[in-house]
Amino acid sequence: MLKFVGRGRKADDSRDEIALVEHQSQRVDQELPIHPTSKHPEAWTTAVDLGPARISVSSNELPDNVRRTLHKERQATFFGCCRQYPKAVGWSLLLFCSIIMEAYDKSLIQGFMALPAFQRKYGTPTEPLAGNPDDQRYEVSPTWQMGLQNAAVVCEIVGLLAHGYITYIIGYRKMLILCIAWLMIAIFPLFFATNIVVLAVGQALCGFPWGVIQTLAATYAAEVVPSTLRACILSNVNMCWLIGQFIGMGILRIFVNDDTQWSYRLPFAMQWAIALPLLIGISFCPDSPWWLIRHERQADARRSLRRLTNSSHLNIDDTIVVMEHTNMIEKKYNYGGASYSDCFKGANRRRTEIACVVWACQALCGSTLTSYAPYFFIQAGFDPENSFSLSTGMYGIGILGGIISWIFLTYIGRRKLYLFGLCFALCFLVVGGILAVAMASSGVINWILGGLIIGMTFTYNITIGPVCYVLVAEIPSTRLRVKTVALARVTYNIFMMINNIVAPQMMSPTGWNLKGKICFVYIVTTILCLLWCYFRLPESKALSYLELDILFEKRAPTMKFKELQDRLQDTAYVTASRIDRSKNAWHGWMAYS
């Protein structure tokens, strides 16, 4: 039986002060007496049954199991963690394949806007290139471009909000199986669409599972891999988006000179070839042990952890104890988990803000220009074949950037890398905007703008792209991770809806026809993102979820996160008050809580 006793939150006003206990070279072996709750009415006692891993500690001492496991996790090397969690890495990468599938799906509609056969089928005629009617140009109107994009995005938001509730009940594996099955059905209207209205209906139906897939794989991976592997594994979510887009652009490049209906129907049909084997593989995936712990299924959590780890290199019972301990503390602080309103209470309000704004920065830093790359290249003067060739190469360069990001994430903190990424994006946008004005009449500007987009793609996928997924997945509390990440993605999708409304109008020759001057719009939004990140984005590198709970609950200042993190690596405690600290060196936040 694991017991913790501590005073209530109002017992000492000095508790709000952030103070760190200096590292003690010797553990306090003598247990201090536990005062009966009758003498201290503000005290509470909690008992947690840990099955075979039962321990007993005083109110003033961190459980040996927890301290030992946290210390081992901090000392673990990258390759050591790979030996301990090989199956967790494998299952995470399998779930990431669902993101490759979604990225491929979503890249098709954006790419089709530059596909001649698709334009003739669903577009309207523009001015002819020459006197020959066969040279008539077609274009999907900006209104329908916006409609096709936003039909999916609106339903993605609905899917995300439902995901927060349904996944909390049925778990990650069942939810993903349900989504892939739905998606396989939703592809039929896209494949057989006879007009653009049916195409929009198909996009809307696909939006529901897309919303879930966008966040589910990342939250699952964040729960099954240790902190040492978190950055490297979670950054691969961005890589999967790139791989899916790369495949999509490559397929469209093959069909760009095909004038038949199969040039756009076959790419839709290929989604079934991806979804079916993925559905079979995920049906064997173990559930997250954190999800099982939150539902008080310790025995199932232990079995799941064995399926995710190499038990000969890991103490399963000690790992379960840490999960129980973290879950118990979050429950005592009323972190909840059943309602979205819990995301806006207490310390979780700040965590929700960080997750939402970090993801919104992806939509506001000019990355939209890379999403519309084929269409943008054509409007800038490239022919369709060269447009798709450049776009395919651009995503290949993005994948290279994603690989390089693994190195930077290992040695550079999340905060620094994200700030660097925004600075690079701002530089590219400023150069692009100035050149678009200064060289408006020059034909060379089209090539320069294309080169800037490719360069921005490279730096984006070293910095902003991968770091965003790491931050959004690890900042929330364990009990609210699914809902917080869902809210963050909803925020991103709202800004993407705005992009989908404004960007086609800004780029289309039948709209505002800004061409390269679109950079000035994103210069303003990127500066705002940069200012917010500098003052509000903390450093979370190498912190366990328990330590993140400590720092957020104690309202650690953004600029002090790194300093407090270094101290936590020695103490693992934030003290409750000066009085408690003077009584016992180990009487810290976790025991107090």
Quickly list DSSP for 311-352.
GGGS-HHHHHHHHHHHHHHHHHTT---SSGGGGGSTHHHHHH
**Number of Cβ atoms within 10 Å of the Cβ of 473:** 25
Contact 123, 138 (CB under 8 A): yes
Distance (Å, rounded) from C-alpha 516 to C-alpha 376? 9
Are residues 516 and 563 both part of a single domain?
no
Task: Indicate the pLDDT class of residue 176, thresholds 50, 70 and 90.
Answer: very high
Distance (Å, rounded) from C-alpha 475 to C-alpha 478? 9
Q: Check whether 97 has a pLDDT greater than 80.
A: yes
Are residues 435 and 337 both part of a single domain?
yes
Are residues 57 and 85 both part of a single domain?
no
Q: Check whether 458 has a pLDDT greater than 70.
A: yes
Contact 206, 157 (CB under 8 A): no
pLDDT of residue 380: 61
Assess if residue 298 is contained within a domain: no
Are residues 498 and 523 both part of a single domain?
yes
Are residues 58 and 83 both part of a single domain?
no
pLDDT of residue 537: 95
Distance (Å, rounded) from C-alpha 374 to C-alpha 112? 9
Q: What is the mean pLDDT of residues 444-449?
A: 76
pLDDT of residue 569: 57
Higher model confidence: residue 25 or residue 361?
361
Are residues 420 and 461 both part of a single domain?
yes
Integer angstrom CA distances of residue 523 from 450, 526, 530, 586: 18, 5, 11, 50
Are residues 149 and 54 both part of a single domain?
no
Among 252-256, 355-359, 387-391, 409-413, the minimum mean pLDDT is found in 387-391
Listed residue (351, 285, 345, 296) closest to 320, CA to CA? 296
Distance (Å, rounded) from C-alpha 180 to C-alpha 587? 49
Are residues 591 and 498 both part of a single domain?
no
pLDDT of residue 534: 95
Assess if residue 74 is contained within a domain: no
Higher model confidence: residue 113 or residue 152?
152
Q: Check whether 128 has a pLDDT greater than 80.
A: no
Assess if residue 258 is contained within a domain: yes
Are residues 513 and 576 both part of a single domain?
no
pLDDT of residue 394: 85
Q: What is the mean pLDDT of residues 562-581?
A: 54
Q: At 389, which CATH number?
A: 1.20.1250.20
- 482-534 pLDDT, tens per residue? 999 999 999 999 998 888 788 878 877 777 877 778 889 999 999 999 999 99
Mean pLDDT computed over every residue of the chain:
80
Assess if residue 581 is contained within a domain: yes
Contact 414, 470 (CB under 8 A): yes
pLDDT of residue 6: 36
The structure tokens 């779930």 sit at 95
Contact 329, 546 (CB under 8 A): yes
Listed residue (547, 479, 592, 575) closest to 74, CA to CA? 547
Q: Which domain holds residue 583?
A: 1-62+559-593
Number of domains in the chain: 2
Dihedral, 46, 48, 54, 55 alpha carbons, nearest 10: -30
Tell me which H or E stretch contains 288. Answer: none
pLDDT of residue 131: 55
Half-sphere exposure of 103 (CA within 13 A, CB side): 21
Contact 559, 244 (CB under 8 A): no
Are residues 435 and 573 both part of a single domain?
no
Assess if residue 481 is contained within a domain: yes
In sequence order, the 6+-apart residues with CB closer than 8 A to the CB of 169 are none
Are residues 22 and 112 both part of a single domain?
no
Are residues 115 and 230 both part of a single domain?
yes
Q: Check whether 398 has a pLDDT greater than 50.
A: yes
What percent of the chain stands above pLDDT 90?
41
Q: Check whether 476 has a pLDDT greater than 80.
A: yes
Assess if residue 522 is contained within a domain: yes
Assess if residue 314 is contained within a domain: no
Half-sphere exposure of 30 (CA within 13 A, CB side): 4
Higher model confidence: residue 56 or residue 275?
275
What percent of the chain stands above pLDDT 70?
79
Note if the pTM is more than 0.85: no
CA 201 to chain centre: 27
